[in-house]
């Protein structure tokens, strides 16, 4: 019996979890390359475009990337942090999952990065 794609853990198959891990690694690499850049409209646009190129090759039914002034407020920018939110689902009818990625300077606190 072939169980590939049938084993469910936390509402995701093992194959989906592997895809999410690979996605996270690629998104982290993108954000790391912008580590010392200013958090401005141009930087956020480039990040969004690069992430879109990664996500379009993943078998998601739907996805959305948010890296704009709605999640990069003046406080976030002043603290040298860039936030990126990705909402996705593998199949129509599945619940959406939201993942937040942040990159910031070492002087940033936990609350500044994750809230």
CATH of residue 54's domain is 3.30.1300.10
Of 96, 102, 100, 45, the C-alpha closest to 68 is 45
pLDDT at position 107 over 70 = no
Q: What pLDDT is recorded for position 4?
A: 43
Phi, psi of 8 (to 5 degrees): -105, 130
| Enclosing H/E stretch for 66 | strand 62-66
User: Residue 44: inside a domain, yes or no?
Assistant: yes
Q: Provide the residue range defining the domain that includes 48.
A: 12-106
Structure tokens belonging to residue 73: 């407020």
How far apart (Å, rounded) are the C-alpha atoms in residues 24 and 90? Answer: 15
Confidence of residue 1 (pLDDT cuts 50, 70, 90): very low
Q: How many helices (H) and strands (E) in the chain?
A: 4, 5
Structure tokens belonging to residue 15: 């194959």
Mean per-residue pLDDT, 95-112:
75
User: Residue 114: inside a domain, yes or no?
Assistant: no
């Amino acid at each position: 019996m072939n169980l590939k794609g049938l084993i469910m853990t936390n509402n995701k198959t093992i194959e989906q979890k592997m895809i999410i891990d690979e996605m996270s690694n690629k998104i982290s690499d993108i954000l790391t390359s912008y580590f010392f850049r200013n958090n401005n409209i141009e930087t956020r646009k480039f990040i969004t475009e690069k992430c879109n190129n990664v996500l379009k090759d993943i078998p998601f039914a739907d996805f959305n990337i948010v890296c704009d002034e709605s999640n990069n407020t003046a406080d976030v920018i002043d603290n040298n942090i860039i936030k990126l939110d990705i909402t996705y689902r593998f199949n129509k009818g599945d619940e959406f999952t939201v993942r937040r990625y942040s990159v910031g300077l070492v002087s940033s606190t936990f609350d500044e990065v994750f809230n």
